[in-house]
């Protein structure tokens, strides 16, 4: 009798465990564990685990353990990983070149405005829909990298003329027209190669969000910065659509809710964190310059006469016109 009772109890427990099936999602990121994007990805994973009562665990692989910055989107598309931290201006232009409008200096004035263009305007949503279809992915969370500005270890960045002959790191192709217009020397480098390149003098100048100079200790070799911000480098947690769609509906909602909650936190903090880093940079002896007056006029002239014409092959004319019309309304 007792034996039968124990057997029934064991079978019941096995049945209960089977019913409460557990799921796992593997997420790849190139950012190191100190970067704010990784910190918010961890918060997202914790929120998912808590709200799912432990049924869904997101395993994080940071610092390029699985894929580098240029390869993560491909890993998500193929299903080699379930989720990825994607830097839009790095991963998306090779899939749809019209995403390059996000790299035009001064076009968008905030992350929110840039996102609204891709989500709400006819042309922008066409670009975004095309990206999702080609990458077989689902947007889970906004996790912005930060607004991009220029830092250098060579000299004070007083204006356009100060940029000549600087040794500049290029991460994305859309940066090249500007560096060429400045008369800078261009060296293409991955994120993991920048510290050594600054240390050895291979490069002395980079375009980057301020948060990165602290997270990767680049500010050890950077002494000067220039504002205003040029463009807003957004990042996203994207999920392989097959993996996401095969989750039970309640877990899909948990993932989306967690993405919305933590993404709003990440976005709300991003500008403030950048200002905090700039203040620390100045406290370490760094010197900031704000382009204004004559120097800003020279920059705008350079943009209009040399940079934008050189970027014409980076996007279709109708995409540029649509973005310009959107921000002017």
- Please state which of the four CATH numbers 3.40.50.300, 3.90.1150.110, 3.40.190.170, 3.60.20.10 is assigned to the domain occupying 24-145+233-275: 3.40.190.170
Q: Is the pLDDT of residue 13 over 90?
A: no
Residue 205 phi, psi (nearest 5):
-145, 140
Domain boundaries, the chain: 24-145+233-275, 147-230+282-328
Q: How many Cβ atoms are within 10 Å of 168's Cβ, its own excluded? A: 25
The domain made up of 147-230+282-328 has a fold known as: D-Maltodextrin-Binding Protein; domain 2 (3.40.190)
Asked, colleague to colleague, whether 24-145+233-275 and 147-230+282-328 share their fold, the answer is yes
For 127-164, the pLDDT digits (tens) are 999 999 999 999 999 999 999 999 999 999 999 999 99
CA atoms within 13 A on the CB side of 151: 24
DSSP string covering 60-123: EE-TTSS--TTTHHHHHHHTSSSEEEEEHHHHSTTT-GGGGGGGSTTS-SSHHHHHHHHHHSHH
Task: Report the pLDDT averaged over residues 237-247.
Answer: 98
Q: Are 329 and 198 in contact (CB under 8 A)?
A: no
Please give the pLDDT value at position 20. 65
For 188-225, the pLDDT digits (tens) are 999 999 999 999 999 999 999 999 999 999 999 999 99
**Could you tell me what percent of the chain has a pLDDT over 70?**
94
Query: Token pair for residue 80?
Result: 């080699």
Please give the pLDDT value at position 21. 86
d(CA 101, CA 121): 14
d(CA 301, CA 306): 8
Please give the pLDDT value at position 18. 40
Query: Token pair for residue 322?
Result: 């649509």
Between 283 and 15, where is the model more confident?
283
Q: Are 64 and 70 in contact (CB under 8 A)?
A: no
For 280-303, the pLDDT digits (tens) are 999 999 999 999 999 999 999 999
d(CA 30, CA 72): 8
Q: What is the DSSP letter of 240?
A: E
For 62-101, the pLDDT digits (tens) are 999 999 999 999 999 999 999 999 999 999 999 999 999 9
């Amino acid at each position: 009798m007792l034996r039968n009772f124990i057997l029934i109890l064991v079978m019941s427990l096995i049945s209960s465990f089977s019913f409460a099936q557990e799921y796992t999602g593997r997420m790849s990121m190139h950012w190191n564990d100190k970067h704010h994007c990784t910190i918010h990805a961890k918060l997202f994973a914790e929120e998912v685990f808590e709200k799912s009562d432990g049924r869904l665990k997101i395993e994080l692989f940071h610092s390029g353990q699985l894929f580098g910055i240029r390869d993560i989107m491909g890993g998500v598309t193929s299903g080699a990983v379930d989720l990825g931290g994607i830097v839009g201006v790095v991963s998306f232009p090779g899939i749809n070149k019209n995403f390059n409008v996000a790299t035009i200096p001064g076009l968008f004035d905030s992350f929110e405005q840039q996102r609204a263009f891709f989500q709400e305007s006819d042309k922008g949503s066409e670009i975004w829909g095309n990206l999702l279809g080609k990458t077989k992915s689902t947007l889970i969370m906004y996790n912005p990298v930060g607004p991009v500005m220029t830092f250098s270890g060579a000299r004070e960045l007083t204006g356009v003329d100060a940029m000549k002959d600087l040794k500049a790191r290029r991460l994305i192709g859309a940066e090249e027209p500007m560096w060429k217009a400045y008369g800078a020397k261009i060296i293409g480098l991955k994120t993991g190669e920048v510290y050594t390149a600054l240390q050895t003098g291979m490069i002395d100048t980079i375009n980057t969000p301020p948060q990165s100079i602290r997270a990767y200790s680049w500010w050890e070799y950077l002494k000067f910065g220039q504002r205003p911000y040029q463009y807003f480098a957004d990042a996203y947690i994207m999920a392989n659509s097959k993996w996401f769609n095969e989750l039970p509906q309640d877990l899909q909602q948990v993932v989306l809710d967690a993405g919305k909650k933590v993404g709003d936190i990440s976005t709300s903090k991003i500008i403030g964190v950048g200002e905090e880093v700039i203040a620390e940079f100045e406290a370490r002896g760094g010197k900031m310059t704000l382009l204004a007056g004559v120097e800003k006029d020279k920059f705008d002239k350079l943009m209009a006469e040399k940079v934008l014409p050189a970027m014409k092959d980076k996007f279709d004319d109708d995409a540029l016109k649509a973005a310009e019309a959107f921000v002017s309304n």
